[in-house]
Amino acid sequence: MNTRANAVAPEGADSMSALMHAHDWEATPLGDPATWPQSLRTLVGVMLGSRQPMFLVWGSQRLMLYNDGYAQLLGPRHPDALGRPFAAVWPENVGTIGPVMDRAYAGKAWGDDDITFVMQPGDYLEGAHFAFSGTPVPDGDGRIVGLFCACMKTPDQVLAERHLKFRLELDERLRHLVEPHEVMAVAAEMLGHHLRASRVNYGYVTDTPTGELFTVERDWTDGNAPSLVGQYRVEDFGEPLIRELKAGRTMRLRDALDDELTAGDGIAATYIAIGARSGITVPLLKGGRVAAALLVHQVEPRDWRDDEEVLAQQVAERTWDAVERALAEKALRQSEGRSRDILESIHDAFYAVDPEWRFTYVNRKTEELWGRRREELMGRVFWDEFPDAVGSEPYRAHINAMRSRHPIQLESLSSLDHRWLDISIFPTADGGLSVYFRDITERKRAEAHRELLLNELNHRVKNTLATVQSISSQTLRNADVTGEARAALESRLFSLSRAHDILTQQNWEGAALGEIVARALEPYRGERESRLHSSGPEVRLLPRAALAIAMALQELATNAVKYGALSNEVGTVDIRWSLDHEAQPPLLSLIWEEAGGPSVQPPQRRGFGVRLIERSLVQDLQGRAQIDFAPSGVVCKVDIPLLPQADGFPSYTKVLERLALSA
């Protein structure tokens, strides 16, 4: 064992502390840990004390040091990665991370909440999404000698959020297109870019005397796969795939050279020849037969995820609807008679009015949304039938379109039934208007939910990473502080880290008060186990309250160990809490009570700990805090209103400002 590693890593049970002790650092360019600069030792301590994945790159060779959280991300590369250059550990990702590291070594901090990282070497595209933040580390002369990085794997809900954002953008793009081939081209291009595919085709199936043909009028490629614009015999796809298509089942092809869907004679070779080594095929059925299909291809094997398959299905349905809508509008312009069947089959509601605002057409979907039969509306004046709509935003849009003879598109809350509607108004050659509209109430709710997730993500990732950076920077800027002040700062930092760990485990939805108390007292138990008592009902705290209480308990415990009940062999600490459900909002009462310690003398001045408790609990949480320095022992009473979720996430800026005051 390298006993000199004690200079940077206190020996512990976790695997990385053990590896740091055992590693032969003198065989690396870093040399004897006892000679490491103070900045490196401090950051290693911070890193090993956190459960969030973190790593350091140091020196001109960019040697890697990391904690247990990051070791899990390394997979089979761990433990050999310890002390090796970043480029040797992650050769697949040098092209992605190398340039930003270069900028960091030039003194520029960086952050990115969506970096795709190739996790496993091999033939298949297996990437994961991460949020990264990097802080340059200077030496005493101001030269950048290292980079401190914190990262977090992007959760599934964020991937779902990105898919939702993509679908909303796709709807917006398709809404304004009037030609079917434009719809196909835009949908293919957007999906291809979003999935990082090699090619996307949208085509339709037609019957001919010689068999069914699949026609591709528009496609998109990334330049690595050939265009497939043209006509193809459906039978050439292979019997297994045709069978699945006719059943309406979406298919995922991982590798055409090793899949039962392409097991027929020459079928696999055909797929390879057209650049379709892997892919997703989504059939669209109409009247019991395959009418169209969306094909997503990759020139190399690929493990397609479930969320990617679902997204392809949703895009196929939206594209089909948009194509049908475009066809309907085109047919309406060409022939009113031939468009009737199409207008009845589309998912959009549709009506037409003449220059005198009399209804000339109302389709079935409009009947459903309005709750009125078309026979009651045909030939009648729009505004006579719906007087409540007069003066509304849709009313003004209709008037403007009729006068200007220009198309108008809007989203508006209907005054008729209080639904959100997407309305497209087109002037017609006879002087009237054709109007398409659809119910987008659910989409509006999804957009509101998306905003909530975005705010949540900003707090979870950016503020978390900013905390680590700010604490590290503050520590380095005050390298000449006393040992006691440094210990106080580190103690508060680790208290914040422990509370952060609890919130991270709970997906930042909150934390149990009992667990916050247990984690806060954990460093002080040991032989004092029987002298520390806590009791109270189960209470869930929002992140802001959890962090504030954790920091307050840290200050009280530190004071008890130095001067109070935990400074001798017999003193006790009792922590108890209760919850008043009758109060609005519910009121949490928490008491810290010491007994059996040295006689307490009231302090001559209010110290930092008292100010931290007052600011965290009183100002931030709108609570009350009373600290009584009774001779028998310190008693702290806290009352906190449990505000609703809208109270938000904790302000790390305020926490760090208070920590900075102690350094």
The span from the CA of 344 to the CA of 341, in Å, is 5
Name 100's Cβ contacts closer than 8 Å, sequence gap at least 6.
110, 112, 132, 134
The span from the CA of 67 to the CA of 54, in Å, is 6
Distance of CA 183 to CAs 29, 314, 421, Å?
A: 58, 15, 21
Identify the pLDDT of residue 497: 54
Identify the pLDDT of residue 65: 95
Query: What are the sequence ranges of the domains in the chain?
Result: 3-153, 159-330, 350-439, 481-662
E-strand ranges in 462-542 read 511-512, 532-535, 540-541
Identify the pLDDT of residue 58: 94
**Contact (Cβ atoms closer than 8 angstroms) between residue 409 and residue 424:** yes
The domains spanning 159-330 and 481-662 adopt the same CATH topology: no
The CATH H-level (homologous superfamily) assignment of domain 350-439 is PAS domain (3.30.450.20)
Of 350, 317, 316, 343, nearest to 328 (Cα)?
Answer: 343
The span from the CA of 82 to the CA of 455, in Å, is 36
Please state the length of the chain.
Answer: 663
Chosen CATH of 481-662 out of 3.30.565.10, 3.20.20.150, 3.40.50.2300, 3.40.1010.20:
3.30.565.10
457: its two tokens: 């993500």
Phi and psi at residue 300, to the nearest 5°? -120, 165
Cross-sheet strand order for the sheet of 211-221: 230-233, 211-221, 199-208, 289-298, 278-286, 251-253
Tell me which fold the domain 159-330 belongs to: Beta-Lactamase (3.30.450)
pLDDT tens digits for range 602-640: 887 776 667 777 776 777 778 888 889 999 999 999 999
pLDDT tens digits for range 353-403: 999 899 988 998 989 888 888 888 888 889 999 998 898 999 999 999 999
Identify the pLDDT of residue 333: 64
**pLDDT < 50 regions, the chain:** 1-5, 7, 12-13, 122-126, 454, 458, 461-462, 465, 469, 485, 488-489, 503-507, 646-663
CATH of domain 3-153: 3.30.450.20
Q: How many other C-beta atoms are found inside a 10 Å radius of the C-beta of residue 353? A: 23
Q: What is the dihedral of CA 260, 263, 267, 269, to 10 degrees?
A: 100
